[in-house]
Amino acid sequence: MVRGAKVLQRSYVLLPLVFGLAFLSACIASPFVKILNDDLSKVRPLSRLFTRCLAAFALLYFLLFRRYMRSKVVASLNIHVSSVLKQLIAGLLIGIVALGLVIAIFYAAGAKRLDVTFTPQQIWTALLIGLGVAFVEEIVFRGVVLQNLQADMEAFFAVVFASALYAAMHFVDPLPNDVLKASEAPSFSTFHILNGFRLVPYQLSNFSRFGEAWPFFVGLSLFGVVLAVAYIKAGSLYLPIGIHAGLIAVIKFDGALFDDVAGRSKLLFGVPRDWFMSYTDSLICWLMAVVLIVLLIAFGGKLRAHAAQGARANARGKS
């Protein structure tokens, strides 16, 4: 029993088990979630609900298997309120400035044109969505995944593998509607208990486009490395949460400020309205990773987290 527990603690056993169970659970639950969603709110495609179920079940199984985890997610979040605010705000500014510079490059190169159609409410909506998505993904990838990998291997390899997994998980995502129609995929609008399993080939079909989408994978992997560096340097998850949220907010808000212009280099500027190789997946866009690293090196020393007073008090009490 003890030996089995030690085996389960290994990251190369625990992580595939958790993600495998989450994937299977999403296949089973997503058709039922769609019924509930369609009754309570606007109709959403099964593919999008599948990815949300996958994230939710991954978090659930990480909680269920927490006794076997060698990560310290709670400690990564248990810092002074002042440090939380400082890191979140600094991260947001770093992410917004970095991607803002990339958008400025695109605009100056003629790959974007100004088309302002936004309301002030969209700013807050974009920030809230960014913070929500970033919080979940950072806990999973820079919290649980990276920290468990660090327990089994050198930090360099842990960062590389965690970042590659982070990038790969984004390929488990709905294809654009025009691609789905071209592939004659079923609509999945009618309930069937096996719809989640029938959806799997289409959810994974993005991997078949890897030759077209490699800048997306490389870029996301680099971004994952930057977020990992931010976590290691700051000593908490709040700085990478802020950076991540800032980038998502700018991406969400970009459509209300600019239109993409066709006819430019696909490799450099992407293709407007195409999921792969859109401007956020092109090579120039991923130069933002370099900008982020420079900003982290310049300011990271001032963003080190301070442990919560309660944690220090408990430590003194035990001694």
Q: Domain boundaries in the chain?
A: 2-173+182-318
Compute the average pLDDT of residues 103-113. 83
Could you tell me the pLDDT band of residue 44, with boundaries at 50, 70 and 90? Answer: confident
Average pLDDT over residues 53-58: 92
Neighbours of 311 (CB within 10 A): 13
What is the model's pTM? 0.86
In degrees rounded to 5, what are phi and psi of residue 41? -145, -165
pLDDT at 148: 92
Nearest CA to 147 out of 34, 48, 95, 69 is that of 69
Q: What are the residue ranges of helices labelled H in the chain?
A: 2-9, 11-40, 46-64, 73-77, 81-108, 120-137, 146-150, 155-169, 177-182, 195-203, 210-234, 238-254, 266-269, 288-299, 309-318
Which amino acid, residue 250? V
